[in-house]
Amino acid sequence: MPPKKRNSGTTQIKELKPSVKSVSPDKKENAELTIKKHREKDAEFVTLCKSLQVTDTVCDRAWMLWKTVQESMEEIPDSQKRIWGACLYVTVTDLDVASFTLTQVQKAVDLNIKQFLSLVRKMDVNLDTISTRVNSVLTRLEKKYDVSLALYQRFEKTCRKIFSLDSDSKEKELLRSCWTMFLLAKGRALQMEDDLVISFQLLLCALEFFIKRCPPALLQPLYQSAINKAQSPPTRTSRRNQSKAKPRPPEPEVDVQLLETLCNENECNAEEVKNVYQTSFSAFLESMDLSRSLDLPQATDLSSQYEEHYLKSRDFDGRLFLDGDKTLLPPKLDLMQVERTPKKNLPEEDPILIPPQTPVRAAMNSIQQLRVDLTSNGDQPSANLAMYFKNCTVDPTEEVLKRVETLGQAFGQRFGQAVGPRFVVLGKQRFTLGVRLYYRVMESMLKSEEKRLSVQNFSKLLNDSTFHTSLLACALEVVMATYGGNCVKTGGYNHGSGGDPAETDVCFPWILDVFRLAAFDFYKVIESFIKAEPSLSKDIVKHLESCEHLIMETIAWRTGSPLFELLRQTLEGLTEQLETPASFNQPLQHNHTAADLYLSPMRPSHGVLPPPESPATPSSQPASQPGPQPASQPGPQAASQPGPQPASQPGPQAAGQAPRLPRSNSLSLFYKKLYRLAYMRLKMLCSYLLSSHPELEPIMWTLFQHTLQHEYELMRDRHLDQLMMSAMYAICKVKNVDLRFKTIVTAYKNMPNTNQETFKHVLIAEEHYDSIIVFYNQVFMQKLKTNILQYASTRPPTLSPIPQIPRSPYKFASSPLRVPGSNNVYISPLKSPRMSPGIMTPRSRMLVSIGESFGFSNRFQKINQMVNSSDRSLKRTLDLGSPPKPLKRLRFDVDGQDEADGSKTGGDSTLIQKLAEMSSTRSRMQEQKMKEDAESRKE
């Protein structure tokens, strides 16, 4: 549950403390259900309400919701009782009352947490059952559960390495107390209980606390020795206690040796964990009066205090992990992931232990890799970077350092507000990593610009405050994504819809709010940042690409964005016009640098596309002409969005008109990418819904593109997909194809990176929001109905060309590439020697590094055996009762055939042929690389 909701319920819980099992939602209303008022309802439903101790108001609203669901669903997906439980949960969440917890309703309807959340979402048939508030709660709850499950699985594994445990009840009680203390510490210290990294660091702190108070006989030798080394000299605590005057209790003593042992065993940074202990965990111990005690805490005391926190949070009871309670059991697929993985080595080989990439291990590896990459970089500009600063006409050094200090203070303060007030120091550590990356990438960019332009004076760029703020924000987003799991708020905006407050979520675009940075300015640096930092992992590159997409979809279109000023200049003929359909069939060039984008349009454009031809669609006519029929949901007619009305078609420069400014490189590239993103989204949705009408896709695209180019004011404070769905519905309407909005949004929910807020919360007029259907009727159709009607005439508008869709504008330097003509042979650049096979992907049977020592000669024989042998290992399936299926053989295509279909192959000649193809491919790749380098030097 969101922390803000938990805090908002605190007052209610304290006043209703007499009931331990459940909490009344309203002081003024009788907590006891009045049975007489609900005689018309199903008796079992009333019994369920009584068992969960809900009020009459909750009972009535949940029953109304059940009736709505019953009428809208053709088939009830589960038993009535389970649907009733889901209706009750949705009702208390919408009303924000504390009637019962998630675990209590799960037990009442006999569902585990994943099943229950899935059932709640299935109820949203008409897309109006689940509010954005409830959806936000479900999303946060699911993430918190995933994090808690990963932490508990790691806790079990770690405890087996620490403690010498058997079935003794006292030893089980030790683990129960440790886990319960961790849950309590996490709940009290963290406002974001779904933060995996900080939660894991708190777990290590709790383990340290219990290990040093545990009898040595219960510890494994490694931790016995760690404690003995730490206890051999006199403790500093005894010297501190010599002072009689104690204005405040002493800080809990950290066993550094023990903490470092724990961190090393769990691949976690010891300095960060120590800071968490000193700033947060120690304060928790003080609040529990445990800091000066040398004894283990009482399990009953910990459990009763966690019980109070659990009732306030109203979500799941984390203690039930210890009991293997079915309400918290993960899906069977998750339990079998390790079992279904085939063996990596042949029987005669020495086993190479590759630990599974659990969420905790993956996070720790990513953080470790980031810290290793930045080890050689300092917190100050390097000598080379300082020289670039000095070569400027106006030395930016002082302003750069001052800006970093100011933004660092803002970052630390907002980080503490979002994560927890005692984690400001942790925020400063992450900011320091971001600063190191910021200086490193800036130096790399300047070296590339110097090589490209043969100049060393970058005064205009390096004195641009927006450039520096954007670059630092991008570096920090990389750091935050590495620590936080690459999260992006797909909704992209928060208009008071009851979603999570911004201060409890550090997902993108949180960093833009912290720095008060326009999304359009931030987008300019993303591509140059990725090119300048080849060490970025594939996941981080994909995350930055997701950020770029989110900016183009919605954030850049917020009121106040500099994007609208550039569009206004284009509208008034002050600059060259936008990219038009005439350039769609040309490949997207990615040779723009940060300097091109941040100094544009002041910098003369170069290498731009030829002047565009006439637009693909005629201009829209006055809105008074008749148009297509509105959507099925009626609504009053409303005026179109306020703002400047764009010209329907930019014409040639008039005589005597002031000369135009050069084309804005930033706006030009933005629209190139926007068109391609928009078409990809439309194409995907059409493939879901209109596979039998392929002729409609180019027509929908023409209307969609026309809207983005000529009616861009419709994008103000809205989402790209809202215009896409409206264009799709409009064309189906005029072409007499039966496609309802309900069907469109149902398919839309299945697309990647979507949020129900996009179609449930659309701007209609100032401060007024409604569904996508109301938007279509009152805004979209009123603005474009004449243009839409032309597609039903005998002379429809000319279709817009389809944009060329590149695979990705970003190259993943470390991504394996498939060898042409083969299926299972991949090549990739040499990995950094510090990376272990455990964190390399994909997990291959054998990793061969050409150019390094390969080991013994018999390993080449094993490669031949792997290729030529007909004996293959059997892949274990999830269904242990069914016979195992044989693995497909390693396939080498010969004349369009392969070994998997039973065709004969030439054995050794096939391998020779494929090796020759690999050599040829390598040569072509080298030639392509040399060609690209030569082109990059042309300017």
Does position 498 have pLDDT exceeding 90, yes or no?
A: no
Contact 551, 494 (CB under 8 A): no
Joined together, the tokens standing for residue 781 give: 């159709």
- Helix or strand (DSSP H, E) at 875: strand 874-875
pLDDT range class, residue 668, cuts 50, 70, 90: confident
* Other CB atoms within 10 A of residue 616 CB: 19
pLDDT of residue 574: 59
Does position 833 have pLDDT exceeding 50, yes or no?
A: no
Joined together, the tokens standing for residue 449 give: 């610009």
pLDDT range class, residue 586, cuts 50, 70, 90: low
pLDDT of residue 932: 63
Percent of the chain, pLDDT > 90?
A: 45
pLDDT digits (tens, 9 = 90+) for 361-414: 999 999 999 999 998 888 999 999 999 999 999 999 999 999 999 999 999 999
Does position 19 have pLDDT exceeding 80, yes or no?
A: no
pLDDT range class, residue 452, cuts 50, 70, 90: confident
φ, ψ at 392 (rounded to 5°): -75, 150
Contact 787, 779 (CB under 8 A): no
pLDDT of residue 304: 92
**Mean pLDDT value across residues 279-284:** 91
Beta pairing partners, 508:
488
Query: When comparing pLDDT for 103 and 823, which is higher?
Result: 103
How many helices (H) and strands (E) are present in the chain, helices listed first? 37, 6
| CA dihedral of 158, 162, 163, 164, whole degrees rounded to 10 | 110
pLDDT digits (tens, 9 = 90+) for 245-254: 444 444 456 7
Integer CA distances (angstroms), 652 to 583, 612, 798, 936, in order: 18, 11, 21, 33
Q: Residue 882 class from Cβ within 10 Å (0-12 exposed, 13-18 middle, 19+ buried)? A: exposed
Mean pLDDT of the residues in the chain? 76
Written as one string, the DSSP assignment of 676-699 is HHHHHHHHHHHHHH-TT-TTHHHH
pLDDT of residue 850: 53
Joined together, the tokens standing for residue 192 give: 């974001």
pLDDT digits (tens, 9 = 90+) for 173-186: 889 999 999 999 99
pLDDT of residue 570: 81
- Kindly tell me the sign of the dihedral angle through the C-alpha atoms of 628, 629, 631, 635: positive
Find the length of the chain.
939
Contact 576, 757 (CB under 8 A): no
**Mean pLDDT value across residues 278-304:** 87
Beta pairing partners, 768:
765
pLDDT range class, residue 354, cuts 50, 70, 90: low
- Rounded to 5°, the CA angle 452-457-463 comes to 110
pLDDT of residue 77: 67
- Helix or strand (DSSP H, E) at 24: none
Among 25-34, 203-212, 305-314, 519-528, the least confident range: 25-34
**Mean pLDDT value across residues 898-920:** 45
Among 82-91, 205-214, 883-892, the least confident range: 883-892
**Mean pLDDT value across residues 927-936:** 62
Does position 234 have pLDDT exceeding 90, yes or no?
A: no
Does position 647 have pLDDT exceeding 50, yes or no?
A: no
pLDDT digits (tens, 9 = 90+) for 670-715: 999 999 999 999 999 999 999 999 999 999 999 999 999 999 999 9
Contact 629, 729 (CB under 8 A): no
End-to-end CA distance of the chain: 55
pLDDT digits (tens, 9 = 90+) for 731-776: 999 999 999 998 999 899 889 888 888 998 999 998 899 999 999 9
**Mean pLDDT value across residues 198-227:** 88
Does position 142 have pLDDT exceeding 90, yes or no?
A: yes
pLDDT of residue 920: 60
pLDDT of residue 129: 78
pLDDT of residue 774: 95
* Other CB atoms within 10 A of residue 75 CB: 4
Query: When comparing pLDDT for 482 and 28, which is higher?
Result: 482
Given the DSSP bridges, would you call strands 874-875 and 885-886 parallel, antiparallel or unpaired?
Answer: antiparallel
Query: When comparing pLDDT for 570 and 785, which is higher?
Result: 785
pLDDT range class, residue 191, cuts 50, 70, 90: confident
Contact 263, 269 (CB under 8 A): yes
pLDDT range class, residue 611, cuts 50, 70, 90: very low
Does position 314 have pLDDT exceeding 60, yes or no?
A: yes
pLDDT of residue 231: 53
Q: Of 487, 484, 472, which Cα lies nearest the Cα of 441?
A: 472
pLDDT of residue 859: 61
Query: When comparing pLDDT for 655 and 480, which is higher?
Result: 480
Does position 243 have pLDDT exceeding 80, yes or no?
A: no
**Mean pLDDT value across residues 96-121:** 93
Buried b (16+ CB within 10 A) or exposed e, 42-62: eeebbebbeebbbbbebbbbb
Cα–Cα distance measured from residue 518 to residue 488, given in angstroms and rounded to the nearest whole number? 17
For 76, residues 6+ apart whose C-beta sits below 8 A from its C-beta are 70, 83
Given the DSSP bridges, would you call strands 768-770 and 817-818 parallel, antiparallel or unpaired?
Answer: unpaired
pLDDT of residue 666: 85
pLDDT digits (tens, 9 = 90+) for 527-578: 999 999 999 999 999 999 999 999 999 999 999 999 999 998 887 765 555 5
pTM: 0.75
For residue 302, give the amino acid letter.
L
Q: Residue 273 class from Cβ within 10 Å (0-12 exposed, 13-18 middle, 19+ buried)? A: buried
